[in-house]
């Protein structure tokens, strides 16, 4: 009854976990949820009735111009007529996969990487080649997917040399570089955030980002720009997917961008404080159990359990949810077929500092109990 590719359609583990996080009293470290108290106030009266009409697939002109200006500012030269507004940057992943991936197409990814990108690539039948920031070999992959700035899930941020090396690897192999950059504005300490696509000399490239993390994911708005040759194809795929993105969301985001009221600074101050208090709570509960690096930006901590506590984190998820704490097991971030990895991803932006402290204490206790008898 179904298309062959549906065999490859897996349920998103994160969306399954997100279903339980609204239970009263649940402490969630699971999704990449921005803090609700940071959502912007929206002036819906600014939306004109003209914006209730069908609009251009590429997106509304004024928003595309704002986006092009901000891309140029971050070092990626582009123009408004090469900006495509997306219904969330997740849509960019879908469009790019449709453009490049057939059954058996090689994609170079970091392992671990963003699980919902793997879900899309899997659907189209991708095979994976994995690379690291220090060894960016992309082999004969047709596409190279990267989240170099505050990676999901590890929080890692590439330095300048690593950025240049990945661009060079793609230039040499001819692999199309697909840079996914939704966290770049959530920056807490000094670091390089130059788009890797700005270093590319001859291979094709796509760069995308999102309004979800800085404004509100419910508005479902993101954008991409790309090398000249790819743009018309991505526009046609967008036409075929949903005609255009929500024009009300586009107007609301445009107004917020134009207001330019120091929002980013307030937001990063808020999240930096959340990260720092999370770090203290982690040290209190997880010292001796796991190792981690303090992320310089983004929304996640990636914990690697010490050998004495190295368990399959999928096995403790049920227990943890029953105790009122949700997190993301590490396995979900690896290409399919991976065996247990003793890692977990913790989002630090959503829970209040007190709730995070309580939740980390509970989670550490569950891990200790599960490993009792082994240490
Ligand atoms: C790396 C990465 N790419 C894309 C997305 C999708 O974001 P959105 O569709 O809300 O723009 C996310 C969401 O968490 C993400 O972490």
89 C-beta closer than 6 A to ligand 1: yes
pLDDT digits (tens, 9 = 90+) for 94-132: 999 999 999 999 999 999 999 999 999 999 999 999 999
Q: Are residues 227 and 97 in the same domain?
A: yes
Calculate the alpha carbon distances from 149 to 32, 249, 263, 316 in Å: 15, 25, 20, 30
Structure tokens at 95: 């469009």
Q: Where a domain ends, among 259, 292, 316? A: 259
Integer Cα distance of 240 and 220 in angstroms: 18
Distance of CA 15 from the midpoint of ligand 1 (Å) = 13
- Mean pLDDT is lowest, of 90-104, 259-273, 313-327, 330-344, for 330-344
Q: Where a domain ends, among 201, 228, 259? A: 259
Q: Are residues 65 and 125 in the same domain?
A: yes
Q: Are residues 80 and 228 in the same domain?
A: yes
Distance of CA 21 from the midpoint of ligand 1 (Å) = 19
49: CATH: 3.40.640.10
**Domain span including residue 152:** 45-259
Structure tokens at 114: 């963003």
Q: Are residues 217 and 281 in the same domain?
A: no
299 C-beta closer than 6 A to ligand 1: no
Residue 33 pLDDT exceeds 90: no
Report the pLDDT averaged over residues 128-142.
Answer: 95
Neighbours of 82 (CB within 10 A): 20
Structure tokens at 242: 């949903």
Maximum CA extent, the chain: 67
Mutate to test the pocket of ligand 1, among 32, 85, 93, 295 (most ligand atoms within 8 A of CB): 32
Q: Judging by DSSP bridges, how do beta strands 328-329 and 343-347 pair with one another?
A: antiparallel
31 CA closest ligand 1 atom index: 14
Q: Are residues 34 and 49 in the same domain?
A: no
Coil, helix or strand at residue 346: strand
Q: Judging by DSSP bridges, how do beta strands 300-305 and 343-347 pair with one another?
A: antiparallel
What sign has the CA pseudo-torsion 111, 115, 117, 119?
positive
* Number of domains comprising the chain: 2
114 C-beta closer than 6 A to ligand 1: yes
211 CA closest ligand 1 atom index: 11
Sort 25 into a burial class: Cβ within 10 Å, 0-12 / 13-18 / 19+.
Answer: exposed
Mutate to test the pocket of ligand 1, among 28, 89, 149 (most ligand atoms within 8 A of CB): 89
Distance of CA 30 from the midpoint of ligand 1 (Å) = 14
Which pLDDT belongs to residue 87?
98
Structure tokens at 19: 């279903």
**Nearest of 153, 112, 180, 173 to residue 336 by alpha carbon:** 112
147 CA closest ligand 1 atom index: 1
87 CA closest ligand 1 atom index: 9
Which contiguous run of DSSP H or E holds residue 345?
strand 343-347
93 CA closest ligand 1 atom index: 4
| Entry field: residues in the chain | 375
280: CATH: 3.90.1150.10
Using CA positions, which residue lies closest to atom 16 of ligand 1?
A: 152
Q: Are residues 112 and 207 in the same domain?
A: yes
Residue 9 pLDDT exceeds 90: no
Calculate the alpha carbon distances from 267 to 67, 156, 271 in Å: 20, 20, 6
Residue 78 confidence class, pLDDT cut points 50, 70, 90: very high
* Strongest mean pLDDT among 30-34, 256-260, 353-357: 353-357
- Note whether 175 and 197 are within 8 A (CB): no
Q: Are residues 252 and 268 in the same domain?
A: no
Computed on alpha carbons and rounded to an integer, the radius of gyration of the chain in Å comes to 21
Q: Where a domain ends, among 259, 285, 304? A: 259
Structure tokens at 252: 């609301």
179 C-beta closer than 6 A to ligand 1: no
87 C-beta closer than 6 A to ligand 1: no
Any idea what DSSP says for residue 154? T
Q: Are residues 252 and 136 in the same domain?
A: yes
Distance of CA 369 from the midpoint of ligand 1 (Å) = 34
Using CA positions, which residue lies closest to atom 6 of ligand 1?
A: 90
Distance of CA 72 from the midpoint of ligand 1 (Å) = 22
Q: Are residues 227 and 366 in the same domain?
A: no
Q: Are residues 101 and 173 in the same domain?
A: yes
Distance of CA 89 from the midpoint of ligand 1 (Å) = 6
Residue 300 pLDDT exceeds 90: yes
What percentage of the chain carries pLDDT values higher than 70?
A: 98
Sheet with 343-347: strands ordered across? 290-291, 300-305, 343-347, 328-329
Calculate the alpha carbon distances from 330 to 112, 249, 265, 307, 356 in Å: 8, 33, 31, 15, 19
Distance of CA 56 from the midpoint of ligand 1 (Å) = 23
Q: Are residues 22 and 98 in the same domain?
A: no
Residue 333 pLDDT exceeds 60: yes
Higher pLDDT, 373 or 135: 135
Q: Are residues 350 and 282 in the same domain?
A: yes
What percentage of the chain carries pLDDT values higher than 90?
A: 82
32 C-beta closer than 6 A to ligand 1: yes
Integer Cα distance of 336 and 334 in angstroms: 6
Report the pLDDT averaged over residues 199-228.
Answer: 97
Which pLDDT belongs to residue 315?
85
Integer Cα distance of 146 and 152 in angstroms: 10
* pTM of the shown model: 0.96
């Amino acid at each position: 009854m179904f298309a062959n590719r549906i065999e490859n359609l897996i349920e998103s583990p994160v969306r399954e976990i997100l279903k339980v996080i609204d239970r009263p009293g649940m402490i969630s470290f699971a999704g990449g949820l921005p803090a609700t108290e940071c959502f912007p106030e929206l002036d819906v009266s600014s939306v004109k009735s003209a914006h209730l009409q069908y609009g251009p697939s590429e997106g509304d002109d004024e928003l595309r111009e704002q986006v092009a200006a901000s891309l140029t500012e971050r070092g990626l030269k582009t123009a408004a007529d090469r900006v495509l507004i997306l219904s969330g940057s997740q849509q960019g992943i879908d469009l790019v996969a449709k453009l490049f991936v057939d059954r058996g197409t090689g994609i170079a990814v970091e392992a671990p990487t963003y699980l919902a990108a793997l879900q899309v690539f899997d659907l189209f039948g991708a095979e994976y080649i994995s690379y690291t920031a220090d060894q960016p070999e992309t082999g004969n992959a047709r596409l190279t997917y990267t989240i170099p700035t505050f990676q999901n899930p590890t929080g890692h941020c590439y330095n300048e040399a690593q950025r240049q090396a990945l661009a060079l690897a793609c230039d040499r192999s001819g692999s199309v570089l697909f840079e996914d950059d939704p966290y770049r504005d959530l920056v807490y300490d000094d670091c390089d955030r130059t788009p890797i696509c700005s270093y590319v000399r001859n291979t094709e490239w796509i760069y995308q980002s999102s309004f979800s993390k800085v404004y509100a994911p419910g508005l479902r708005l993101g954008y991409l720009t790309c090398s000249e040759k790819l743009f018309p194809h991505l526009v046609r795929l967008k036409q075929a997917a949903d005609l255009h993105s929500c024009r009300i969301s586009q107007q609301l985001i445009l107004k917020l961008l134009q207001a330019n009221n120091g929002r980013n600074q307030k937001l990063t101050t808020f999240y930096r404080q959340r990260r720092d208090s999370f770090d203290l709570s982690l040290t209190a509960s997880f010292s001796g159990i796991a190792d981690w690096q303090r992320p310089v930006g983004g929304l996640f901590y990636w914990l690697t359990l010490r050998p004495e506590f190295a368990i399959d984190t999928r096995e403790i998820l049920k227990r943890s949810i029953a105790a009122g704490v949700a997190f993301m097991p590490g396995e979900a971030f690896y290409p399919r077929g991976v065996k247990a990895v003793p890692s977990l991803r913790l989002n630090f932006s959503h829970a209040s500092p007190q709730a995070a402290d309580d939740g980390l204490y509970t989670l550490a206790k569950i891990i200790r109990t599960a490993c009792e008898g082994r240490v």
